[in-house]
Structure 1
Amino acid sequence: MNAAIPLANWQDEQEDWSEERQEWLESMAYILDEYGPERARTLLGELHAYLERRYVAPPPTLNTPYRNSVPVTEQPAYPGNIDLEQRIENIIRWNAMAMVLRANDANPGLGGHIATYASAATMLEVGFNHFFRHRSADYGGDLLNVQAHASPGIYARAFLEGRLSEQQLGNFRRELQAGGGLSSYPHPHNMPDFWPAPTASMGLSTVSAIYQARFARYLENRSLKPRNGGKIWNFIGDGEADEPEVLGTVGIAAREKLDNLVLVVNCNLQRL
């Protein structure tokens, strides 16, 4: 039977640990102030390696704190006109909703999802305005896989750009109508001049995006494709994130170190 630790000894031990811990924190603060974040990061890496050599497993870092990793003082000014972009986004969101409702008024039961694009509109608009880049002489171009249920918003944006007609929007989910229509979900077989890749059924777009990114690396490593950039952007819903197709293949992206793949999860609690 183990003897109980006297309360006084336990309190002394706690005070010693508190002082030791404070000294370490103050030392790290000094390193950060005097030598900068890069040296502080290097020191932490060396401590991490030392712990591993002593068979001490450091805590996992898969989940980061729910806070912005960029301090407010280091955040740059927004690169665009945020008021104008917000106004355009509101128009697109409204048109997407109106397109679905109008189609169902004329054809009850036609279907179409409203909430998915409504929840993803800001992410997609910021991407279109500031992140997604087309192919050029010195850039390979990005491939965008849109969440399948968010297709009404992409159609509404294309209408605002003049790429789709009002008649086509009126024929949402009715592709065989006179003047042409719009497919329910992204698919290049149905709309070869509009959609670059299929993203439905749920979960399949992630599999496709991973292998698209992996094949791009394959071509680059064999000098069949210039190393001039180009990312695969893949938007999925929170419901797709736990599909077996996603969970079964996402490890490939980590193993192959596919830094040309960006997976964005729209956590809108719609399970889509």
Structure 2
Amino acid sequence: QDRNLMYYLTVYNEPITQPAEPDNLDTNGIIKGIYKLAEAPEPGTKPRAQILASGVSVPWALEAQQILNEDWNIAADVWSVTSWNELRRDGLAAEEEAFLNPGQDPRTPFVTQQLAGAHGPVIAVSDYMKAVPDQIRQFIPNDFASLGADGFGFSDTRQAARRYFKNDTHSIVTKTLQLLAQRGEVDAQAPAQAIEKYRLLDVNAGTTGGAGGES
């Protein structure tokens, strides 16, 4: 069809165990940029949160989900983001359509549709800079925070680096507690307790990302 297209594949050099395919897999969400990977276990009346993760950070999010449930009695859903960029493009396209068609009902961005009815703050985590997940911030109706690897000049193990940049499993847990505390849904001291409990200020205490493949 003589279309001018470019395809690319992003590859990590870190081996991870791929999560099992969820029941009722949302293939449309995979293609468009986001799908729910794991429902919160036994949410009941617990405080709720939504963790959005991409690439190698997906296993960290799943581990954070478990810790939040077991240590803090918080129910977090985990979403796999297959493309922050695609979600951004779709959101901007929806805004452009609304701008050029005043008087018509605006189309809702796909990521906004996916998170409709999802309760609690959104924590978006990536092994890229925070600017990557921040691309979708304006399309998220919930409270929002991003975690990423901003900065340079730090060379150590992967576990130490993720702890240094505060985008590891326990940082996800602590950030979730912080947002929930701001909403009055958990004790105001919970974030400080988590920082101490998980030794968040100690880069040597990091445990996230030790699957091998060091470069």
TM-score (norm 1): 0.25
Larger helix share, 1 or 2: 1
Q: What's the TM-score once normalised by structure 2's chain length? A: 0.30
Larger radius of gyration, structure 1 or 2? 1
Instruction: Pick 1 or 2: higher relative contact order, CA cutoff 8 A, min separation 6.
Output: 2
